[in-house]
Structure 1
Amino acid sequence: MMGTKQFAHGVDLVTFIFRGSSRRKEQVSTCVSRAPSGPMKHRARSWTSEDPKVYPRATTVQVGEQLMAICPRFEITPRATLRIGPELVQAIGLLSLRNADLAADLAKAARGNPFLRLAGAGADPETLAAMPSGLHAHVLTEIGFLALTPDEWRIAQAFLEALAPSGWLDATIEEVATRAGVPTARTEAVLRRLQQIAPSGLFARSLAECLELQARDRGLLTDEVAAVLRSLGAIADGGISALAEASGLSIKAVDAALAALRTLDPKPGASFAAADQSLLRAPDFVATRIGHGTKQGWLVELNAATLPDIEALGCDDDAPLTLRRAAQEARSLARAVARRNSTLLAVGRALVRRQSAYLKMEVPDPAPLVRAEIAGMAGVHESTVSRVAQAMTMQTPRGVIGLASLFSRPVSGGGCSVSALRARIGSIIAAEPCARPLSDAAIADRLAADGIAVAQRSVARHREHLGIPARAVRRRTGPRRPA
């Protein structure tokens, strides 16, 4: 049984709680008093049953020292909270989509929404899906960056028709000149430009020329290597001794030259058969050098050939609710795509500025770079950079590259990236004598002399990542990578 009663002397509320039988009952009362002004105060009383059989333990009502209210009341307090709106969620989801995938999704949305209109070269996803892939598609994209004249373009197409899957030419210069209807001298001039396309070694007419192009590109074309390449056919007749005699080098020099040549790829075009298919599709970014001399810069744009223009049409206010909702969805999607594109451009331009020397081919490897640095430059979160770099590709003077390849954590013992360290380890092993290959400790000493302090176990880990066997195996087989 519970009841309330008003008391005098400023007591507002008294609550009686009765428990027990008709013979025994326990009363507990709590009195709360309030002064005429100021904060509320309290006092408490408690009674317990005299018979322990009814309530063996004493029951006490305690009231807190700073009790401020008994009755409910409302307060308005400002508080900052983070809320992610639907458009932002949609824009975040679009970041991981490549341009071609986004174009397909937009085309599907446009078919079901009359207020969504697409235009531009990337508006038809079937055209994007029909684009060629593989070695020829890669070379065709690269040729577009050579700024050829119409006559040179016709010659380049004739060379492209003669390009074998291995990357070599299946036709002679004279045959290509006949197909293009031009003199042989002009054909050779175009060939020299085509042989600059990455990966090096494409459009070679023989094994020696293929290896020479790669050795020159990697800085391995020493006088000894050039002499071995000129006499490479002698090795088929009499082995290394015949090659040494034909080239005029010692056996030791021939071994060193062959060790360097073994690190090259005799069929650079064959790698496209097993390459990541994402690199064989149209790139998402296009980075182009603009200006002249000291005023040169970069123009970084999204590939308009793979990305359609999106337009959201308006709707009358008195239109049916279904149409107004469709128009609102079209506007939301258009804003999300615009947010996605601006974010991609911010990240892409920051990457190009940071890795400008590498993209201009002034240095062989990217500079050490982590995603947090690009996030700070682009004004976005690090996770946003990860989403963009995971899927996107960029057309650069080096060819089509994945954005993820531009990131490389720095080596703790020196100012170079992991990719540069591995390239240096590979070059050291390529130059070692076949009869006396270097140990991991000796390689670590060579790196220390270059200012890169790396432990022996780290050298072994990077060597294994390159697919280069241990010293004992290299002594028998040379520094060949396992198949």
Structure 2
Amino acid sequence: MRPQLGLGVNLTPQLLQSIRLLQLTAPQLEMELRQALERNPLLEQDEPEVEAEEIEADARVESAAWDELPEPSFLSGGNTGGDYDDAASRIAEGASSDPRQRLLQSLSLQWNARDVAIAAWWLDQCDDRGYLESPLDELHLLGASTCNLDASELEIVRQRLLHGECTGVAAQDAGECLRAQLSMQPESSARTLGLRILRDHLDLLAVHDEAALAKSLKCDAADVRDAVALVMTLRAHPMEDTTPDDAGVIVPDVVAWHADGGWRVALNGRSAPRVRIAAHCERALADAPGDVSALRGLLDEARWLVRGVAMRNDTLLRTTQVLVERQRAYLERGDEAIAPLTLREVADAIGMHESTVSRITSGKFLQTPRGTIELKRLFAVRLEGAEVSGSAVKAMVKRLIDAEPAHAPLADDTIAGLLARQGVRVARRTVAKYRDQLSIAPARQRCRAVAFAKAS
């Protein structure tokens, strides 16, 4: 045998533990630390410092990550001024079991405080299923008198609720709820026909009389069957099955917020307990007589864990800080502003290997004013031959199609030309690829869909 020289890494138990800790998500780390506290008597839970608590509190308020919204005083006549943010200081802790409060929590990440308060008023007028409990005209009058707001302003917020993330909430009846849900589906002939059924023939749909529907709509029975099948995929009630599943709850690992003209980040200290070595146990062990090798083993284990968690948290914080700084335009303006960013660029910025950045960002979530997003989403591939990311171009394509004239849908080459005017040069096939990824039909099919809707 011939001797060979080579370089390798000795994967010690400490190094293996550090690598494993890097990959743990917030819930996994919490479970790991709680098990360690039960298993190792030399570990104890560390009480958070006042300064750390203040940082986390500021982060929660600035990012509008609210668990409960207080009763808006300006809606009850207590404040008609313009300061709607003071109520944030009275937010209660703990997750709500009320789906309406959970919806408000989510809206507070995207809407301004005034609109969230108006949305809270509308949700107070809804029953447990999410339907309005009184006729719409009466509610407009009630809102105008009690909230000192125009009926038009109230209705704008109701429409945003109706077509928002909990689509159909604040609907007047089942028909309006289903129409709102269907309007959010990708454009198709089945959707167009389904909207006609919901608008004009809800009674026939209720008894599943497809033959009568085909006759009334003067269309093919197969088309009616497709439209009815699409309608049947919708929720019967806006707030149906909205109880949160603890197993699917996303716990943010890091919080980002905007303050003093810049972006700040902090670890979500509430997601896992802080642990430390019990000082009195360490002192007692140092002076203990006899064989205490077993306890010294526990002490070494405790030291490795505390050091590993500190390294993990430091790496996560530094990585997130770079991601937020590089993608501040995305956080401020949205998908079209997301910049090209690679693992290597972030790794170089923090002085670590790409594999470390990959591990620390996998499965980790960042809480921002735009919502809670996965850290991996902040990486974006540069579009070949362009100075923008593919994700940004996809968002631009969607915006152009959303704003296109209904009677003249934009062809792919037209979209490419419009992007070129904005300084983004992409090929027609690139536009077609992103349009397909967005599940948007070609211009010819979109044109036919519009013509069919007019004819019907």
Q: Bin the TM-score by the shorter chain.
A: 0.5 to 0.7
- Over residues 414-439 of structure 1, what are the superposed CA-to-partner deviations in whole Å (9 max), with x where a residue is unaligned? 22211111122122323444454333
Aligned with residue 93 of structure 1, among 5, 9, 20: 20
Compare 435-444 and 100-109 and name the one that shifted more: 435-444
Identify the residue that residue 262 of structure 2 maps to in structure 1. Answer: 297
1:282 paired with 2:282, answer no
Residues 287 and 396 in structure 1, CA contact (< 8 A), matched pair in contact too: yes
CA distance in 1, matches of 2:101, 2:130: 10
Check 1:140–1:469 CA distance in 2 against 1; reply closer, same or farther (3 A cut): same
CA distance in 1, matches of 2:110, 2:426: 40
Check 1:331–1:155 CA distance in 2 against 1; reply closer, same or farther (3 A cut): farther
1:117 paired with 2:26, answer no
- Over residues 150-197 of structure 1, what are the superposed CA-to-partner deviations in whole Å (9 max), with x where a residue is unaligned? xx9998866666678999877779879999xx9423899999999999
Identify the residue that residue 185 of structure 1 maps to in structure 2. Answer: 148
Residues 134 and 272 in structure 1, CA contact (< 8 A), matched pair in contact too: no
1:371 shift after superposition: 1.8
Check 1:119–1:192 CA distance in 2 against 1; reply closer, same or farther (3 A cut): farther
Give the secondary-structure state (helix, strand or coil) at the position aligned to 1:360. Answer: helix
1:301 shift after superposition: 0.5
Aligned with residue 430 of structure 1, among 369, 377, 402: 402
1:334 shift after superposition: 0.9
CA distance in 2, matches of 1:453, 1:377: 29
Give the secondary-structure state (helix, strand or coil) at the position aligned to 1:301. Answer: strand
Alignment of structure 1 residues 404-419 onto 2, 5 Å = 404-419=376-391
Consecutive unaligned residues of structure 1, counting only runs of 5 or more, are 1-78, 122-127, 211-232, 238-265
Identify the residue that residue 228 of structure 1 maps to in structure 2. Answer: none
Identify the residue that residue 435 of structure 2 maps to in structure 1. Answer: 463
CA distance in 1, matches of 2:111, 2:417: 43
1:345 paired with 2:272, answer no
User: Which one-letter code corresponds to 1:100 in the other structure?
Assistant: P
Largest Rg, 1 or 2 = 1
What value does the CA root-mean-square deviation take over the aligned residues? Answer: 5.1
- Over residues 368-411 of structure 1, what are the superposed CA-to-partner deviations in whole Å (9 max), with x where a residue is unaligned? 22222111222222122222332111111112122122121111
CA distance in 2, matches of 1:312, 1:178: 60
1:470 shift after superposition: 2.3
Q: Which structure has the highest helix share of the two?
A: 2
Identify the residue that residue 183 of structure 2 maps to in structure 1. Answer: none
1:459 shift after superposition: 1.8
Residues 311 and 334 in structure 1, CA contact (< 8 A), matched pair in contact too: yes
Identify the residue that residue 472 of structure 1 maps to in structure 2. Answer: 444
- Over residues 222-274 of structure 1, what are the superposed CA-to-partner deviations in whole Å (9 max), with x where a residue is unaligned? xxxxxxxxxxx9x969xxxxxxxxxxxxxxxxxxxxxxxxxxxx99x899979
Residues 286 and 301 in structure 1, CA contact (< 8 A), matched pair in contact too: yes
CA distance in 2, matches of 1:414, 1:478: 34
Consecutive unaligned residues of structure 2, counting only runs of 5 or more, are 1-5, 49-92, 178-195, 201-233, 452-456
Identify the residue that residue 192 of structure 2 maps to in structure 1. Answer: none
Residues 393 and 402 in structure 1, CA contact (< 8 A), matched pair in contact too: yes
1:278 shift after superposition: 9.1
Q: Which structure has the highest strand share of the two?
A: 1
CA distance in 1, matches of 2:422, 2:125: 44
1:336 shift after superposition: 0.6
User: Which one-letter code corresponds to 1:369 in the other structure?
Assistant: L
Residues 155 and 176 in structure 1, CA contact (< 8 A), matched pair in contact too: no
CA distance in 1, matches of 2:320, 2:22: 12
Identify the residue that residue 219 of structure 1 maps to in structure 2. Answer: none
Aligned with residue 274 of structure 2, among 305, 309, 312: 309
User: Which one-letter code corresponds to 2:324 in the other structure?
Assistant: V
Alignment of structure 1 residues 259-278 onto 2, 5 Å = none
CA distance in 2, matches of 1:437, 1:429: 7
Aligned with residue 441 of structure 1, among 400, 408, 413: 413
Between 1 and 2, higher relative CO (CA 8 Å, sep ≥ 6) is seen in: 2
Alignment of structure 1 residues 27-426 onto 2, 5 Å = 82-119=9-46, 136-137=101-102, 139-140=104-105, 143=108, 183-185=146-148, 280-291=249-260, 296-313=261-278, 314-315=281-282, 316-317=285-286, 318=288, 320-361=292-333, 364-426=336-398
Residues 279 and 401 in structure 1, CA contact (< 8 A), matched pair in contact too: no
Check 1:427–1:80 CA distance in 2 against 1; reply closer, same or farther (3 A cut): closer
Identify the residue that residue 216 of structure 1 maps to in structure 2. Answer: none
User: Which one-letter code corresponds to 1:107 in the other structure?
Assistant: R
TM-score, normalised relative to structure 2: 0.58
1:99 shift after superposition: 1.3
- Over residues 63-109 of structure 1, what are the superposed CA-to-partner deviations in whole Å (9 max), with x where a residue is unaligned? xxxxxxxxxxxxxxxx9864444323212211222212210121122
- Over residues 265-307 of structure 1, what are the superposed CA-to-partner deviations in whole Å (9 max), with x where a residue is unaligned? x99x89997999998423111112222xxxx222210112212
User: Which one-letter code corresponds to 2:272 in the other structure?
Assistant: L
Check 1:192–1:341 CA distance in 2 against 1; reply closer, same or farther (3 A cut): farther
Check 1:336–1:184 CA distance in 2 against 1; reply closer, same or farther (3 A cut): same
1:413 shift after superposition: 2.9
Check 1:440–1:360 CA distance in 2 against 1; reply closer, same or farther (3 A cut): closer
TM-score, normalised relative to structure 1: 0.55
Residues 358 and 367 in structure 1, CA contact (< 8 A), matched pair in contact too: yes
CA distance in 2, matches of 1:298, 1:271: 38
Give the secondary-structure state (helix, strand or coil) at the position aligned to 1:394. Answer: strand
1:206 shift after superposition: 6.4
- Over residues 203-225 of structure 1, what are the superposed CA-to-partner deviations in whole Å (9 max), with x where a residue is unaligned? 98569x99xxxxxxxxxxxxxxx
CA distance in 2, matches of 1:278, 1:366: 31
User: Which one-letter code corresponds to 1:185 in the other structure?
Assistant: N
